[in-house]
């Protein structure tokens, strides 16, 4: 799999432009999809969504959506929209058991990103990308190119935040997709479920002494870690931890292992994805000379989260719970 470095989450992109509804990312020029009848719209429509500098007006729910990147695919599946999907692409890890049957009913267009031609062959009326790389203009999948073909596109809000990415933004994302597909009540139910999970974690770890945390995503000469602007930072805080690199003013960035040693984390959180296993990452950290006096290494205190639990998707609240259990096992016994 392609590493996270090639799936950037840029922070200081243009601020979200919200028009009428909650922000979302839609097509550039066309009103999409086409009205069901001349001048008519489906019940609850039209829906106009603007953000990331792109606007679309939907006269009915999309019927042939294509998702690219796992976390946005799982948002669709969590809202019961698999029958509205014409295809999907690019997994980072395993689909959760509760979504497996729905996922298996959707055509997989490519192991990673499909070509522009393969994308068009699916005859989509909506393309939903999780990372900027989903709409790589150099690969022919740019949003302008899709718009010229009459296909609206939507990019996860994580790629165009106006500030730090948090669970509030996740709620906004889910609400927007719910409105576009005409299932706002499903979106609200899902949001209520997520809030319930997070409230349960808060009840468990409330009052606990925060555990200092260093996130290890990847890297050998330097460490690619979570900064203060990404959802990982919010997750660590909610799980009863303190991100030692929250002062890094972006979602992700490189730091030296000497810096990690200086800040002396109690726990190292490993992001698990791609061709390099979490066990292999742990082994390299334990063998790193610069980290030998770090408490987390000396005491072998590691936590592991799959990649799809650390991005703006429906797994994030469960990721907070999983992390809290690993940081404060005594609170969950």
- Which tens digit of pLDDT belongs to each residue from 82-126? 999 999 999 999 999 999 999 999 999 999 999 999 999 999 999
Residues 258 and 172 reside in one and the same domain: no
**Same-domain pairing of 8 and 139:** yes
> 181: number of CA atoms within 13 Å, CB side?
28
Q: % helix / strand / coil in the chain, to the nearest 5?
A: 40, 20, 40
pTM, 2 dp: 0.87
- The span from the CA of 152 to the CA of 76, in Å, is 16
- With respect to residue 163, please indicate whether it lies within any of the assigned structural domains: yes
Same domain, 180 and 291: no
- Tens of pLDDT along the chain (333 residues) come to 444 434 443 333 333 333 333 334 444 334 444 444 444 678 889 999 986 888 999 999 999 999 999 999 999 999 999 999 999 999 999 999 999 999 999 999 999 999 999 999 999 999 999 999 999 999 999 999 999 999 999 999 999 998 999 999 999 999 999 999 999 999 999 999 999 999 999 999 999 999 999 999 999 999 999 999 999 999 999 999 999 999 999 999 999 999 999 999 999 999 999 889 999 999 999 999 999 999 999 999 999 999 999 999 999 999 999 999 999 999 998
Residue 207 DSSP label: T
Same domain, 47 and 155: yes
pLDDT digits (tens, 9 = 90+) for 22-63: 334 444 334 444 444 444 678 889 999 986 888 999 999 999
Residue 198 is assigned to a structural domain of this protein: no
Q: Are residues 103 and 170 in the same domain?
A: yes
- Within a domain: 283: yes
CATH number at residue 288: 3.40.50.1980
201 within some domain? no
Query: Considering 167, 193, 219, which residue would you say is the last residue of a domain?
Result: 193
User: What is the average pLDDT score of the chain?
Assistant: 89
Residue 266 shares a structural domain with residue 317 = yes
Q: Do both 86 and 130 map to the same domain?
A: yes
Q: For residues 31 and 149, state if they share a domain.
A: yes
Q: Which residues of 298-332 are buried (b: 16+ CB within 10 A; e: fewer)?
A: eeebbbbbbbbbbbbbbbbbbbbbbbbbbbbeebe
User: Domain check: are 226 and 186 in the same one?
Assistant: no
In sequence order, the 6+-apart residues with CB closer than 8 A to the CB of 214 are: 223, 225, 244, 245, 260, 263, 265, 267, 268, 269, 296
Q: Is residue 132 part of a domain?
A: yes
Q: 159: cis peptide before it, omega within 30°?
A: no
* Domain annotation covers residue 20: yes
Number of domains in the chain: 2
Residue 200 lies in a domain: no
Separation CA 96–CA 76 (nearest Å): 13
Q: Are residue 33 and residue 171 in the same domain, yes or no?
A: yes
Which of 130, 165, 193 corresponds to the end of one domain? 193
CB 196 within 8 A of CB 207: no
Asked which of 145, 167, 193 is the last residue of a domain, the reply is 193
User: What is the extent of the structural domain holding 262?
Assistant: 207-332
Looking at the structure, tell me whether residues 146 and 34 fall in a common domain.
yes
Q: Who contacts 199 (Cβ-Cβ below 8 Å, separation ≥6)? A: none
Relative to beta strand 85-89, strand 65-68 is parallel
Do residues 174 and 283 share a domain? no
Q: Would residue 157 count as lying in a domain?
A: yes
């Amino acid at each position: 799999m392609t590493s996270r470095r090639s799936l950037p989450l840029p922070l200081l992109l243009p601020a979200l432009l919200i028009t009428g509804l909650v922000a979302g990312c839609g097509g550039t020029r066309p009103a999409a999809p086409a009205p069901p009848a001349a001048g008519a719209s489906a019940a609850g429509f039209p829906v106009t969504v603007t953000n990331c500098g792109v606007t679309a007006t939907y006269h009915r729910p999309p019927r042939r959506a294509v998702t690219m990147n796992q976390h946005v695919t799982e948002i669709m599946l969590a809202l019961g929209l698999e029958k509205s999907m014409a295809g999907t692409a690019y997994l980072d890890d395993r689909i959760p058991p509760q979504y497996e049957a729905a996922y298996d009913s959707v055509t997989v267009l490519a192991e990673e990103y499909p070509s522009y031609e393969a994308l068009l062959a699916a005859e989509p009326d909506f393309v939903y990308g999780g990372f900027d790389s989903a709409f790589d203009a150099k690969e022919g999948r740019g949003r302008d190119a899709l718009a010229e073909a009459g296909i609206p596109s939507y990019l996860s809000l994580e790629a165009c935040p106006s500030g730090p990415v948090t669970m509030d933004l996740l709620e906004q994302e889910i609400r927007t997709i719910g409105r576009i597909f005409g299932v706002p009540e499903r979106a609200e139910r899902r949001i209520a479920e997520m809030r319930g999970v997070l409230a349960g974690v808060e009840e468990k770890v409330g009052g606990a002494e925060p555990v200092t945390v260093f996130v290890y995503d990847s890297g050998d000469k330097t460490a690619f870690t979570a900064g203060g602007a990404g959802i990982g930072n919010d997750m660590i805080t909610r799980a009863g931890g303190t991100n030692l690199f929250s002062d890094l003013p972006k979602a992700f960035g490189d730091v030296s292992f000497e810096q990690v040693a200086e800040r002396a984390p109690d726990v190292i959180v490993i992001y698990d994805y791609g061709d390099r296993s979490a066990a292999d990452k742990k082994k390299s950290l334990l063998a790193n000379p610069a980290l030998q006096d770090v408490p987390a290494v000396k005491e072998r205190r590691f936590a592991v989260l799959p990649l799809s639990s650390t991005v703006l998707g429906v797994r994030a609240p469960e990721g907070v719970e999983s992390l809290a259990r690993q940081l404060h096992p005594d609170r969950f016994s």
